[in-house]
Amino acid sequence: MLTAVAAILLGLVVVFAITVATGYFVAQEFAYMAVDRSRLKARADAGDRAAERALTVTRRTSFMLSGAQLGITVTGLLVGYAAEPLIGRGLETLLGGSGLPMAIAVAIGGVAAIGVSTVIQMLFGELFPKNLALAKPEALARRLAWSTTAYLTLFGWLIWLFDQSSNLLLRALRIEPVHDVEHSATPRDMEYIVATSRAAGEIPAELSTLLDRILDFPTSTARHAMIPRARVDTVLDTEPVADVLARMASAHTRYPVVAADHDEVVGVIHLHDLLSLDGPSGTAADHCRQAVVVPETLPLPNVVRSLADSREEMTVVIDEFGGFAGIVTMEDLAEELVGEIDDEHDGAQQHEAVTEVGDGWLVAGDLPVDEAERLLGVTLPTGDYETVAGMVIAHADGLPAVGDRVSVPLPAETADFLSAQPPAERALDAEIGAVRRRVPARVQLSVTVAEPTSRVENDV
């Protein structure tokens, strides 16, 4: 009897000891997969030897995973090998001595040995080290770096043998093996990371908005950033320099110069050039510079490059028909990244782009749709328009007047597709508050939600 009890206790100790080894390999596997390589590199550059060793391990992800899997497999087999003869047979002896038939005692002992070893393995060999590695990946990766390197060096030949065998199987299926896990992220991945981090409260809303703008900048075009032709102040090519100087004294320091007989840009006139003259003589056409001209479909990074190469601060945007579509300045490009920048030309009566009003928002009509999405936190429908005013006009019957209400159907959210119930019908209720140049200048927006109407179809 005492021998059986001693065998059971010894079996528990052996199983737990082997399970510790299993936990080591599980922690190794998850720690090096979850660790932030950039943080390890920063520590390594600062002279942290443990971080340097850990970074070396992460550069051989596939090899490290193969080593961890080998260790987990071997220790798992050892647990089974030790549990049955020690725990199982010890229980068989105890139960057999109590009068149970030997066949039943053997069955109960075998099942109990498997059950006990499984619980110990799952709790201490799998779940605990996994959760620990996910919670503290950097600290664990640094602590395990030396022993992991030693293990991979000592058993590298065996790991390599199994690795190459699996690679041959993959190539037989015409799949090329990957020896490292890709840790880079696409812009779409980064957008998701920013949105998730903002929802979790890990980054403030202002930083999230800034990062969104930065990620959108490379794919935005000149049309998105430009001041439209209807809002661009110009001077005629026949206008005297004295009149241009008088206008510049109270307004802008540079203007597009357009032909008097047709709306075509002939150049850009600068205050600096006029001040260098001996006297205000001639016309705007005589002293204007050649304009930097870009198509409205040109990506913004290329617009920046065009302005930098020409050392200018204003570019003229033309549409596909060659017409004057608008202008883009360095300030407009900066606003694509940091949002609205107020200056002396905006006027004291300049309104905020978005103002919360009750359960909705009062929005400027010229606010870009993507910026409205960021500030309102609402996914808006896409279409052949750039601004909130364009979106409202696209969903209205003609040009809306002050006081008109327009309903804009909103696209379904991702969560709607996860529900077994039909998604609620969401719409953006837009009430026109002001009109300028026949298009909405101020719009009051609110989201309305209507329960989906069920349809009953009868077969005739």
pLDDT by residue (tens digit) across 229-276? 988 999 999 999 999 999 988 888 899 999 988 888 999 999 988 888
**Cβ neighbours for 258, distance < 8 A, ≥ 6 positions apart:** 234, 235, 236, 237, 264, 265, 266, 324
pLDDT reported for residue 179: 67
Length of the chain, in residues: 460
d(CA 366, CA 385): 11
- pTM, whole model, 2 decimals? 0.64
Cβ pair 225, 245 in contact under 8 A = no
pLDDT reported for residue 345: 56
pLDDT(348) > 50: no
Q: How many domains does the chain have?
A: 3
- Report which of 404, 225, 222 is spatially closest to residue 302, judged by C-alpha positions: 222
436, 407: one domain:
yes
Cβ pair 12, 112 in contact under 8 A = no
Average pLDDT, the chain: 84
User: Which CATH number is 437's domain given?
Assistant: 3.30.465.10
| Cα angle for residues 103, 107, 112 (degrees, 5° grid) | 150
Q: Is 380 exposed, middle or buried (0-12, 13-18, 19+ CB in 10 A)?
A: middle
Q: Which residue has the tokens 């010894």?
A: 10
Cβ pair 254, 268 in contact under 8 A = yes
| Alpha helices (runs of H) in 123-177, residue ranges in sequence order | 128-135, 137-154, 156-172
pLDDT(361) > 50: yes
d(CA 156, CA 164): 12
pLDDT reported for residue 82: 78
pLDDT reported for residue 377: 84
27, 161: one domain:
yes
User: What is the Rg, in whole angstroms, of the alpha carbon atoms belonging to the chain?
Assistant: 35
pLDDT (tens digit per residue) in 315-327: 999 999 889 999 9
163, 89: one domain:
yes
Q: What are phi and psi of 198, to 5 degrees?
A: -70, -45
56, 94: one domain:
yes
User: Which CATH number is 312's domain given?
Assistant: 3.10.580.10
Q: Return the half-sphere exposure (C-beta side, CA atoms, 13 A cut-off) of residue 353.
A: 18
Residue 431 forms part of a structural domain:
yes
pLDDT (tens digit per residue) in 33-69: 888 888 888 899 988 999 999 989 988 888 899 999 9
374, 330: one domain:
no
Q: Name the residue range of residue 103's domain.
A: 2-172
Residue 206 forms part of a structural domain:
no
63, 122: one domain:
yes
436, 320: one domain:
no
164, 66: one domain:
yes
Residue 19 forms part of a structural domain:
yes
Q: What are phi and psi of 408, to 5 degrees?
A: -110, 110
Q: 3-class DSSP state for residue 384?
A: coil
d(CA 90, CA 5): 6
Mean pLDDT computed over 373-379? 86
- H/E run at residue 328: strand 324-329
- The count of other CB atoms within 10 Å of the CB of residue 392 is 25
46, 137: one domain:
yes
Among 29-43, 143-157, 343-357, the minimum mean pLDDT is found in 343-357
